A and B are shown apart, each in its own frame.
Chain A
Amino acid sequence: MSLVYSGVLSHAPGITGRAHLVDNIEKRDEFYAALDNQKTEILATDAEAIVVIAAEHFANFFMNNMPAYCIGISENYEGPIEDPEWLGIQKTKIPGAPNLAKRLTKNIMQTVDVAYSEEWKFDHGIMVPLNFLTPKYDLPVIPVNINCQGPPLTPLHRAWAFGEALRRACDEAPEKIALVGTGGISHWPATPDSGKINEAWDREFLGHLMRNDKDALLNYSDEETYNDAGQGGFEIRTFITAAAAAQGNGDLQFYTAELPIFAVGCTVARFEIK
Chain B
Amino acid sequence: MSLYNLQKFLYELNRDESIQANYSENSEALIAGYSLTDEEINALKEGDIGLLYVLGVNGQILMHYAALLGIEWFDYLEMMREGVRIHGPVRDGVYAMTGGGESFTNEEKER
Q: Which residues of A contact B (CB under 8 A)?
A: 13-14, 17-18, 21-23, 57-60, 62-64, 81-83, 86-87, 121, 123, 149-151, 188-197, 226, 230-231, 260-261
Are A191's CB and B107's CB within 8 A? no
Contact between chains at A188 and B73 (CB < 8 Å): no
Given contacts A83-B68, A151-B94, 15 further A-B contacts (CB under 8 A): A21-B73, A58-B15, A59-B15, A62-B11, A81-B64, A82-B14, A121-B15, A149-B60, A190-B58, A193-B98, A194-B104, A195-B108, A196-B98, A226-B94, A261-B107
A-B pairs with beta carbons under 8 A, tally: 98
Separation of A63 and B60 alpha carbons in the complex (Å) = 14
For A193, give the chain B residue with the smallest CB separation: B98
Enumerate chain B interface residues (CB-CB to A < 8 A).
Answer: 4, 7-8, 11, 14-15, 58-64, 67-68, 70, 73, 77-78, 80-81, 84, 94-99, 101, 103-108, 110
Main secondary structure of the interface of A (DSSP, over half): loop
- Residue from B8, B70, B84, B99 within 8 A of A83 (CB atoms): B70
Q: State the Cβ distance, A237 to closest chain B Cβ, in Å.
A: 15
Q: Shortest CB–CB separation between residue B95 and chain A, in angstroms?
A: 5
Nearest B residue to A55, CB-CB: B60
- Chain A residues with CB under 8 Å of B14's CB are 58-59, 81-82
Structural contact, A195 and B15, CB atoms closer than 8 A = no
Determine the distance from Cα of A231 to Cα of B101 in the docked complex, in whole angstroms: 17
